[in-house]
Structure 1
Amino acid sequence: MAVTIKDVAKRAGVSPATVSRVIADNPRITGKTKEKVREVMKIMGYYPNFQARNLVAKKSQTLGIIMENSATLAFQNPFFPEVLRGISTRAHGSQYGLYLSTGATQEEIYREVVEMAQGKRVDGIILLYSKIGDPVMEYLCQSGIPFAVVGRPFKDPCAVSYVDNDNINNAKEVVEYLVGLGHRHIAFVGGAADFVVSLDRLEGYKLALKQHGIPFDAAYTVNQEFMHGNEREAIRRLMALDIPPTAIVTHDDMVAYEVIGYLEDLEISVPEDVSIIGFNNHAISRHLKPPLSTVDISIYDLGLHAAELVLEKITDESVPPKQVVVPSRLIERGSCRRL
């Protein structure tokens, strides 16, 4: 005979209503009571019928995860599995599942978000990027569904809860580190210009140059729009300048890997001929030859806090929007040298 919620309540010495609240992870139930009831559920082999409970509660117990492009491309970047690890850890603690967007274009992703919200497929949404004029964020503001963003909104279309690093200061610190090594000719290879993280890191780069009396030279900056799929040629032109850079700040570690490959094709050595530094501190970065200097942006914590923000809003809609800044740290490795 199947174990019932009443059986669990009797053995745990609580009411069936308390067991239901424990299953729902109700914040009014103490941690001690939750632990006791969950232990009894485990011993008795009781598994809640979440589908039935969700129908009654009109909840899906699911969070929608929206990536900046198709899942196939996103998972080629180690950032996304790591931020999802943080999200899933917090979601699991509240017995929430994840629903990943699978659209391959911005239009498909937008339609999928509308279907998620209007079809009640998810109780809340986490946007894993922030870009200028994003129709997805504008829709989420109008929809009323709880959501949080990994990344600082460019201009808040509404009151938005978000988690981010201090990308301006991070980039500023990176340039100051290179200046401290004796570099004056420092290039910046950025990401897409409509993503806020790209704008913030470029801003930090410019601020550091100004602070150290180094004139900003647009010829030393390259972004995705400038490259137009001709990354190799863009790097060749950069290194062919009358005064080529002695150091390159890249948008993230993935870009750094590509740049290092193009430099090798040009028979330019890192760090002997040019120093290079990235962001994100992917696991593989320490194993490169030379190991890549980078900024650890605590990707796991970004995901963890994003999930906390949206789950808090799901539990209590009156909670005001919050902004969480996750600390970062510069990691010095072998890809940068002192002049």
Structure 2
Amino acid sequence: MATIKEIAKEANVSPSTVSRVLAGSSKISPETTKRVLEAIKKLGYVPNANAKGLVVKKSFTVGVFVPREPENAFLNSFFDQVITSICAVVNNFEYDILLAISNPEKERELLKRLVESKKVDGFVLLSSREKDPAIEYLKSIDFKFVVIGRPSGFENSVNWVDNDNQKAGFDATEYLIRLGHKKIAFMGGPSDLVVTVDRFSGYKKALEKYGIQPRSSYIKFANYYKKSYREKAYEILNQEDRPTAIVCMDDLIAIEVFKVAESLNLKVGKDLSVISFNNSNVSEICQPPLTTVDINILHLGRLAAEVLMMDLSESTKTYRRIIVPHQIVERDSCSKLQML
């Protein structure tokens, strides 16, 4: 008997389009529907009752989950870029996107509502936390999803795409050390974010390798608010024995460090070296241009979407783990330590 894939090939459409036609979707054009039905007739395809029932239950929608308060969800351009690349992939499979935004306290409730209402076939989670309730919930009900970020505690039992953030944190810190800096601060995001944990671990390993003792006053963690970034940056920079360099969790934090440095009459790139992560658009246009670790955000989103679409099309469970390479983009915010 012919398969859906064979029907799709004959009609020159995707398998998901064939599934939509079988489900009676109104989103498929009359011309395409006619072509698919003709292919079905030509190849003698007869869907069995169980398979047809499963097809009808599909929503052809992927949920993209942003675990942030709505008012702060898109302060960080990481989310804009990664969602753009996810959309490009799922649209090629003729799936739609449902954007789900919730503060961490209510995320399980939101996911449960979307799953039970059958509004989505799978999720892309855009970050991960220690003891992540979203991962724990979706795993417990065997719902299909992929995580952008290392799923702490579930590394071998869920799909995920990430950078080697411990190595990235190490590389960023070592870059500053090789410029002669020893008084190096670290400014992270929320301390329960796995990406913060991993980059901070890399920072500490680099200091340890070069025999540099970390200072507690040089290490700060902020929440998602710009005000918090500024407050923590001020605490780091307004010390009598201030650091000469700082590793920032991402470009957004780095920009707030720039502002605080200026208020303290410190020149970034001369009095203070700053390196961050993401290589967002703002890193090129700020003054001075920001040295940053390019984590290939678009690639992360594309691969995560492709992994989920493969998972949605397979009946057998295969867990995929993909590590995306990173590289330091050198600009003008870092310089060799000036010995006085």
Which TM-score band applies after superposition, normalised by the shorter structure?
Answer: 0.7 to 0.9
CA contact (8 A) 2:226 2:256 kept: no
Please say if 1:60 is aligned against 2:59.
yes
Verify the 8 A CA contact 2:187 2:249 in the aligned structure 1. yes
Q: Is the 8 A contact 2:78 2:280 kept in 1?
A: yes
Within 1, Cα distance between the matches of 2:329 and 2:257? 19
Mapped partners of 1:80, 1:336: distance in 2:
26
Q: Residue in 2 aligned with 1:253?
A: 251
Give the equivalent residue in structure 1 for 2:16: 24
The code of the aligned residue for 1:276 comes to V
Deviation at 1:16, TM superposition (A): 8.9
Counterpart AA for 2:87: S
8 Å contact from structure 1 (residues 71, 101) kept in 2: no
- TM-score of the pair, normalised by structure 2: 0.83
CA deviations on 1:287-309 (whole Å, 9 max, x unpaired) are 11100000110101111111111
Q: Deviations over 1:3-53 (max 9, x none)?
A: xxxxxxxxxxx97994397352679xxxxxxxxxxxxx99x9546899xx9
Letter in 1 for 2:254: A
Is 1:326 aligned with 2:310? no
Does the CA contact (< 8 Å) of 1:54 and 1:61 recur in 2? no
d(CA) in 2 for partners of 1:174 and 1:180?
A: 10
Q: Which residue of 2 aligns with 1:312?
A: 310
Secondary structure in 1 matching 2:101: coil
The aligned counterpart of 1:208 is 206
Q: Which letter does structure 2 place at the counterpart of 1:257? A: I
Partners of 1:223 and 1:59 in 2: how far apart?
42
- Partner of 2:212, secondary structure, is coil
Which residue of structure 1 aligns with residue 167 of structure 2? 169
Q: Does 1:74 align with 2:66?
A: no
RMSD (Å), alpha carbons: 2.9
Segments of structure 2 that go 5 or more residues without pairing to the other structure are: 1-5, 20-27, 37-51
Relative to 1, partners in 2 of residues 1:186 and 1:26: Cα closer, same or farther, differing over 3 Å? farther
Q: Which amino acid aligns with 1:152?
A: R
Q: C-alpha separation between the residues in 2 aligned to 1:271 and 1:15? A: 60
C-alpha distance in 1 between matches for 2:55 and 2:186: 54
How many percent of aligned residue pairs carry the same amino acid? 34
CA distance change for structure 1 residues 133 and 45 in 2, over 3 Å: closer, same or farther? same
- In structure 2, how many angstroms separate the alpha carbons of the residues matched to 1:228 and 1:300? 24
1: CA distance between counterparts of 2:206 and 2:324?
A: 21
In 1, are the aligned partners of 2:66 and 2:127 still within 8 Å (CA)?
Answer: yes
* 1:295–1:330 CA contact under 8 A, matched in 2: yes
User: In the alignment, which residue of structure 1 is the partner of 2:125?
Assistant: 127
1:239 is displaced (CA, Å) by 2.3
1:1-339 aligned at under 5 Å gives the runs 18-19=10-11, 22=14, 24=16, 46=32, 57-103=56-102, 105-156=103-154, 159-224=157-222, 230-339=228-337
Distance in 2 (CA, whole Å) between partners of 1:16 and 1:292 is 48
* Number of positions where the alignment pairs a residue of Structure 1 with one of Structure 2: 308
Write out per-residue CA displacement over residues 105-156 of structure 1, whole angstroms, 9 at most, x where no aligned residue.
Answer: 3343322211211111111111111001222111100122110000001111
Q: Which residue does 2:3 correspond to in 1?
A: none
Query: TM-score, normalised on structure 1?
Result: 0.83
* Cα distance change of structure 1 residues 287 and 230 upon mapping to structure 2, 3 Å threshold: closer
